[in-house]
Amino acid sequence: MPTDWEAQYQKNETPWDKGTPSPGLLNFLSAEKVSGRVLVPGCGAGHDVRALCQGGAEVVGLDIAPSAVESAQSFPAAGKERYICGDLFELPRDLRGTFDWVWEHTCFCAIDPMLREAYVEAVHTALSPQGNLLAIFYLDPQNDGPAEGPPFEVTVPELDSLFFFPRFTLIREWLPLRTYPGRENREWMRLMRRSWTQALPVSRLPQNTCATALCRCHIPP
């Protein structure tokens, strides 16, 4: 059953919302700048959007649930943010290829794993050539038994096979030092860069058998 995100917000059943930005994001922003245009897919109440704005970025928070967008809009503006109610998989044409950064946090783990290739495609389409994908992936949500619903786990090898070269180049990856309580050692951060190539469906790109090796080579920004 696909998750009815709007119903979750209407019932006020939003356990993912910790009321603060992702600690991993805050840690990154304390050392490095995220500037230009940023997309935050599945932004929820917009805590990460506002954190990104405070550094001067122009941030678009996108969420499929109208009540999430309403909640995000109810907070005082932090800078140049705006919120759009929409589906990441049907990004409005005028937004495609316009983002310098995408910040991923608990959107990837929320979508059906069958849609992961479509997720990679959607993020690639949103970014400008050489745009950055900064992400925190929830490796181990510790669902009881077989996961029937989100959050869905992911492994690092699966990330390698989804975000493969030449579609994305891995710049660096790390275990975040700061996390929400209880998520210690269960998240993984990555900074990846979109290639210059046009957005091709994953199935039309040659399978690069060296992808994993290339992904480990930590090419400097």
Smallest distance from ligand SAM to CB 11, Å: 13
The pair of structure tokens assigned to 200 is 């091709």
Alpha-carbon torsion 27, 32, 37, 39, what sign?
negative
- Residue 27 or 89: the one with the smaller Cβ distance to ligand SAM is 89
- Residue 63 or 160: the one with the smaller Cβ distance to ligand SAM is 63
Smallest distance from ligand SAM to CB 196, Å: 26
For position 65 contacting ligand SAM by CB under 6 A, the verdict is yes
E strand spans, 115-220? 127-138, 168-174, 187-194
Distance (Å, rounded) from C-alpha 23 to C-alpha 6? 25
Smallest distance from ligand SAM to CB 132, Å: 18
Q: How many residues interact with ligand SAM (rule CB under 6 A)?
A: 20
**C-beta of residue 127 within 8 angstroms of C-beta of residue 197:** no
Measured CA to CA in angstroms, residue 69 lies from 5, 96, 136 at distances of: 12, 20, 21
- Residue 110 or 211: the one with the smaller Cβ distance to ligand SAM is 110
- Residue 104 or 160: the one with the smaller Cβ distance to ligand SAM is 104
Q: Which of the residues 80 through 119 are near ligand SAM (CB under 6 A)? A: 87-89, 105-107, 110-111
Determine phi and psi for 135, rounding to 5 degrees.
-140, 145
- Residue 112 or 158: the one with the smaller Cβ distance to ligand SAM is 112
**C-beta of residue 72 within 8 angstroms of C-beta of residue 45:** yes
Determine phi and psi for 144, rounding to 5 degrees.
-80, 125
Smallest distance from ligand SAM to CB 51, Å: 12
- Residue 5 or 28: the one with the smaller Cβ distance to ligand SAM is 5
Among 17, 112, 117, 153, binds ligand SAM (CB under 6 A): 17
Of 194, 219, 57, 79, nearest in space to 134 by CA: 194
Smallest distance from ligand SAM to CB 211, Å: 26
**C-beta of residue 173 within 8 angstroms of C-beta of residue 191:** yes
Smallest distance from ligand SAM to CB 90, Å: 8
Among 23, 24, 42, 176, binds ligand SAM (CB under 6 A): 42
Residue 105's DSSP bridge partners are 136
Interface contacts to ligand SAM, rule CB under 6 A = 5, 16-17, 41-44, 62-65, 68, 87-89, 105-107, 110-111
